[in-house]
């Protein structure tokens, strides 16, 4: 509604508040007509097309605190972007405030203590580049352009999780800006309840300005790569995957996939991606069952840099591609589940889509369910139906394929779900299901640290009513 002057009161308030903020804010403030706004507002998933009223590009905790205060003053919904990879588009908001951390790229590595401190806008590719200077690493994403913040706060599946646990299991501390603008340090010794909550509870309790990670001796050369077979061999490839994962050592991580050929030909393939982070001779021996199986159409498994492994799949997930995902933990990888996966992928309409099975084992599965907020600690397999395409005209067809494939897999799923993969149109209360026995405690801590649910554009944990 416009006033007598013909000016929109909300816009006037925003203009005035932004002008006041600009006097102290060290980052960038972008409104819809500003240069750079159109590029900055975009997130990784091209299916998400939202227009924030204001983007605050922060450079430190003080900027974040001022951005939170501005959102409260103007009564704007606030979304937080680290790497912007979340498939559901929770890093942005229509008509609200995007608190963008992408300028916060500082990384400091201490090789003596084997720790690293990284700001909330860092990606895993950037993080690994710095830590690998000292032949150190921690569990990070399988795609290097993924941000450390969202992946860590929601769990942290990665190539090293069998030996070193999930990304969140390697957290030593977090610097967090809360909904009331305070800056808190959370660790095992300080604000321990908050530290428990952020290890799996996502962005529900504040904005992570920086993370301190525990590092491990890794690389610089490991054994890894991808072996692909014709789709006609998919049944045997998935059975091989089941057999190898049943006896896989902690330092070996495997992902099976039904996917389109990387040459864009449209051919369907069955593949296994692998990483062995131990000595090269041991890794070579561990990979023999994969390299010696059948007649692969592509085999890149061998010695490679850890940074190279981390970027190996990047080309398959380009920024701006349209994405729609469905995911669930499988009870086991039975012959019947394998048949259902193959049947579903036969109908896949896009060569960029796939069905992935991520193996959970080792250190990631030896943490007690109640030790962190993240409860998915059973050995087994995480199923991901990943629909990806380029043309908006194909939206309905590609979304329907993912939904139908996910429905066909329902007879084989268990109760666990990985919160970072939850999309916006889930039925029921998937967040409560995903957190299971930890959900009630998370609600209580939400009421303590964010009683008004200011941080709700996330996999939301609502305060108890």
Q: 373-386, pLDDT tens digit by residue?
A: 999 999 999 999 99
Tell me: pLDDT of 213 over 90: yes
The pLDDT score that the predictor gives to residue 67 is 97
pLDDT band at 68 (very low <50, low <70, confident <90, very high): very high
The pLDDT score that the predictor gives to residue 328 is 95
The pLDDT score that the predictor gives to residue 9 is 66
The pLDDT score that the predictor gives to residue 263 is 82
Mean pLDDT of the chain: 94
Tell me: pLDDT of 200 over 80: yes
Lowest model confidence (mean pLDDT) among 8-22, 177-191, 324-338, 446-460: 8-22
Tell me: pLDDT of 11 over 50: yes
The mean per-residue pLDDT over the stretch 213-227 comes to: 97
pLDDT, tens digit (0-9, with 9 covering 90-100), for 257-278 = 999 998 878 899 999 999 999 9
The mean per-residue pLDDT over the stretch 19-47 comes to: 93
pLDDT band at 2 (very low <50, low <70, confident <90, very high): very low
Q: In Å, what is the CA distance from 151 to each residue of 87, 141, 290, 440? A: 12, 7, 29, 22
The pLDDT score that the predictor gives to residue 6 is 52
Domains and CATH numbers, the chain: 9-100 (3.30.43.10), 107-218 (3.30.465.10), 221-421 (3.40.462.20)
The pLDDT score that the predictor gives to residue 163 is 97
- Angle between helix 9-21 and 61-74 (nearest 10): 160
Lowest model confidence (mean pLDDT) among 2-11, 114-123, 324-333, 453-462: 2-11
pLDDT, tens digit (0-9, with 9 covering 90-100), for 72-95 = 999 999 999 999 899 989 999 999
Tell me: pLDDT of 102 over 50: yes
pLDDT band at 8 (very low <50, low <70, confident <90, very high): low
pLDDT band at 425 (very low <50, low <70, confident <90, very high): confident
> Which residues lie below 8 Å from residue 23, measured CB to CB, with a gap of 6+?
none
The pLDDT score that the predictor gives to residue 3 is 46
Lowest model confidence (mean pLDDT) among 120-134, 232-246, 425-439: 425-439
Lowest model confidence (mean pLDDT) among 32-36, 134-138, 337-341, 424-428: 424-428
> Which residues lie below 8 Å from residue 353, measured CB to CB, with a gap of 6+?
259, 260, 386, 387, 388, 389, 398, 401, 402
pLDDT band at 465 (very low <50, low <70, confident <90, very high): confident
The mean per-residue pLDDT over the stretch 281-309 comes to: 97
């Amino acid at each position: 509604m416009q006033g007598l002057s013909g000016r929109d009161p909300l816009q006037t308030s925003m203009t005035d508040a932004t002008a006041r903020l600009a006097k102290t804010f060290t980052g960038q403030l972008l409104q819809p007509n500003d240069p750079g706004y159109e590029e900055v507002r975009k997130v990784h998933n091209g299916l998400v097309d939202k227009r924030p009223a204001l983007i605050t590009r922060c450079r430190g905790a003080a900027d974040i605190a001022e951005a939170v205060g501005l959102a409260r003053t103007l009564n704007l919904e606030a979304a937080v972007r680290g790497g912007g990879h979340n498939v559901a588009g929770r890093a942005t908001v229509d008509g609200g405030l995007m608190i963008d951390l992408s300028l916060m790229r500082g990384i400091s590595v201490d090789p003596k203590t084997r720790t690293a401190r990284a700001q909330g806008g860092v990606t895993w590719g950037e993080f690994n580049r710095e830590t690998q200077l000292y032949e150190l690493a921690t569990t990070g994403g399988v795609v290097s352009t993924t941000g450390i913040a969202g992946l860590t706060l929601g769990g942290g599946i990665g190539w090293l999780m069998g030996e070193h646990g999930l990304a969140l299991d390697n957290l030593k501390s977090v610097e967090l800006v809360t909904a009331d603008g305070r800056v808190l340090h959370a660790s095992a010794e300080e604000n321990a309840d908050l530290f428990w909550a952020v290890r799996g509870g996502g962005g529900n309790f504040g904005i992570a300005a920086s993370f301190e990670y525990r590092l491990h001796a890794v690389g610089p050369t490991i054994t890894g790569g991808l072996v692909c077979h014709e789709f006609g061999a998919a049944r045997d490839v998935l059975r091989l995957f089941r057999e190898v994962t049943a006896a896989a050592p902690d330092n070996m991580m495997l992902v099976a996939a039904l996917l389109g050929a990387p040459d864009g030909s449209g051919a369907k393939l069955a593949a296994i991606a692998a990483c062995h982070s131990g000595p090269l001779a041991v890794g070579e021996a561990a990979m023999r069952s994969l390299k010696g199986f059948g007649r692969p159409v592509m085999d890149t498994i061998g010695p490679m840099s850890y940074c190279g492994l981390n970027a190996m799949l990047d080309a398959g997930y380009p920024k701006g591609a349209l994405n729609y995902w469905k995911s669930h933990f499988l009870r086991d990888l039975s012959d019947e589940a394998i048949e259902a996966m193959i049947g579903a992928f036969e109908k896949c309409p896009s060569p960029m889509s796939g069905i992935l099975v991520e193996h959970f084992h080792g250190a990631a599965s030896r943490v007690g369910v109640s030790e962190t907020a993240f409860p998915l600690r059973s050995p087994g397999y995480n199923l991901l139906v990943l629909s990806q395409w380029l043309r908006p005209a194909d939206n309905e067809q590609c979304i329907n394929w993912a939904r139908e494939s996910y429905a066909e897999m329902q007879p084989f799923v268990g109760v666990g779900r990985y919160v970072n993969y939850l999309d916006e149109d889930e039925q029921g209360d998937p967040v409560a299901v995903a957190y299971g026995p930890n959900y009630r405690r998370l609600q209580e801590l939400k009421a303590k640290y964010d009683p008004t649910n200011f941080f709700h554009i996330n996999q939301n944990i609502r305060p108890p009513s």
